[in-house]
Amino acid sequence: MSRVTLSRYLIEQTRSNNTPADLRFLIEVVARACKEISHAVSKGALGGVLGSMGTENVQGEVQKKLDVISNEILLEANEWGGHLAGMASEEMDNAYQIPGKYPKGAYLLVFDPLDGSSNIDVNVSVGTIFSVLRCPDQYLSQNDSLDEQAFLQPGTKQVCAGYAIYGPQTMLVLTLGNGVKGFTLDRELGSFVLTHDDIRIPETTAEFAINMSNSRHWEPPVSRYVEELLAGKEGPLGKDYNMRWVAAMVADVHRILTRGGLFMYPRDSREPSKPGKLRLMYEANPMSFIVEQAGGVSTNGIERILDIQPTSLHQRVAVYLGSKEEVDRVTAYHQG
Ligand code: F6P
């Protein structure tokens, strides 16, 4: 049986009019950058890439060397190809302008270059998350610098979202809005090969993911729901639940796409001005697009995440995503 590589899959999408050629090129370049990041991550101590930079990003988080390296790899790979009007990243305060010497294109690329980077030094899975939006026409001037407003579009406007996970295998999981495909990196071929043709999240689950150490800060609906989960068979939900927490959203979401489950990062009382820890534009939106395309559900406890109108590039949001039955239940607890 001939193997379907990412390139072949994308060419077939273009032939059937699902993917314009410039979007295909953009995804190929992002995938190539992810291969390079995978390589850097896998070198670990041998490549001198572990540890911190001694700097902080705009969120006040300590930057790991690999956060900065991965950010550079994605910027350099994507700035020259002529398919982008601009980029934005967790690691940069402001939007990245395509240098004047390169042509500009129709798309915007938003990414978290290395999600879960506190896992790097302990050799646990990390990943890259990305989202592609169309740049609205009014911002498409060749000369002016790109206004940050161009990026502030709800998640429903994404034309593509994906992540690469750097774990025991490196995988690229992708949606173009017509289902979810998973590709595994064949290191001998140097290509991503289609291995998961139609990823679906089961509607029901008996597994949840949450950072329990924050429980004293949770709001009442979350405390009630997690108490019910922990009560198991004897409680109101009538079954025993298992818990997993990798502390890298990519890895937790990947598990949910593989065998179902519920991922929660609620808003809590520690910093009332910040609704949750995760970022809307380059964590919650792309993952919500993928989860919905796999038949799952994603909300902030009140509304569908993809419907939220962003107000800033690094905006935070509460996240409940995964198997429909449990996301619907915890969302209903918030609503009433
Ligand atoms: O980007 C933030 C992140 O690393 C996510 O990937 C992950 O789900 C979460 O933070 C882990 O948070 P905590 O440190 O509270 O376990």
The string of pLDDT tens digits covering residues 274-321 is 889 999 999 999 999 999 999 999 999 999 999 999 999 999 999 999
Ligand-binding site membership of 116 (annotated): yes
Helix, strand or coil, per DSSP, at residue 312: coil
Ligand 1 nearest atom to the CA of residue 90, by list position: 1
- Per the DSSP assignment, residues forming a β-bridge with 243 are 208
**3-state secondary structure at position 240:** coil
Pocket test for ligand 1, best of 277, 279, 287, 288 (most atoms within 8 A of CB): 277
Average pLDDT over residues 228-241: 98
- Residue whose CB lies within 8 A of the most ligand 1 atoms, among 217, 278, 298, for a mutation test: 278
**Is the model more confident about 301 or about 140?**
301
- Indicate the top mutation candidate among 211, 212, 249 to test ligand 1's pocket, ranked by most ligand atoms within 8 A of CB: 249
Going from the Cα of 2 to the center of ligand 1, the distance in angstroms, rounded, reads 39
- 142 has pLDDT over 80: no
Of 1-15, 183-197, 223-237, the poorest mean pLDDT is in 1-15
Q: Is pLDDT above 90 for 218?
A: yes
Q: Are 90 and 277 in contact (CB under 8 A)?
A: no
Asked if 158 and 133 count as a contact pair (C-beta separation under 8 A), the reply is yes
Separation of CA 293 from chain center? 14
pTM (two decimals) = 0.96
Rounded to 5°, angle at Cα 27 from 287 and 171: 60
Of all protein residues, whose CA lies closest to atom 9 belonging to ligand 1?
Answer: 247
Fold of 6-196: Fructose-1,6-Bisphosphatase; Chain A, domain 1 (3.30.540)
pLDDT attached to residue 1: 57
Residues of the chain with CATH 3.30.540.10: 6-196
pLDDT band at 41 (very low <50, low <70, confident <90, very high): very high
What is the spatial distance between Cα 46 and Cα 50, in angstroms, rounded to a whole number? 9
Rounded to the nearest angstrom, the gap between the alpha carbon of residue 194 and the centroid of all alpha carbons in its chain is 19
Give residue 50's pLDDT band: very low, low, confident or very high (50, 70, 90): confident
For 71-120, the pLDDT digits (tens) are 999 999 999 999 999 999 999 999 999 999 999 999 999 999 999 988 98
**Atom 3 of ligand 1, residue of closest alpha carbon:** 116
Cα(270)–Cα(245) distance, integer angstroms: 20
Q: What stretch(es) of the chain map to CATH 3.40.190.80?
A: 207-335
CATH 3.30.420.40 fits 207-335, yes or no: no
The DSSP call for residue 284 is: I
d(CA 156, CA 177): 10
Task: Reply yes or no on whether the pLDDT at 143 is more than 90.
Answer: no
Mean pLDDT of 22-51: 93
Q: What is the mean pLDDT of the chain?
A: 94
How many H helices and E strands in the chain?
Answer: 7, 17
Task: Say yes or no to pLDDT of 236 above 90.
Answer: yes
Q: What one-character-per-residue DSSP string does 203-235 give?
A: S--SEEE--GGGGGGB-HHHHHHHHHHHHGGGS
Instruction: For residues 90 and 316, give the distance between their C-alpha atoms in angstroms, rounded to a whole number.
Output: 11
Q: Is 124 in the pocket of ligand 1 (CB under 6 A)?
A: no
Residue 51 confidence (pLDDT): 78
Q: Is 276 in the pocket of ligand 1 (CB under 6 A)?
A: no
Mean pLDDT of 247-271: 95
- Dump pLDDT digits (tens) for 167-201: 999 999 999 999 999 999 999 999 999 999 999 99
pLDDT at 78: 98
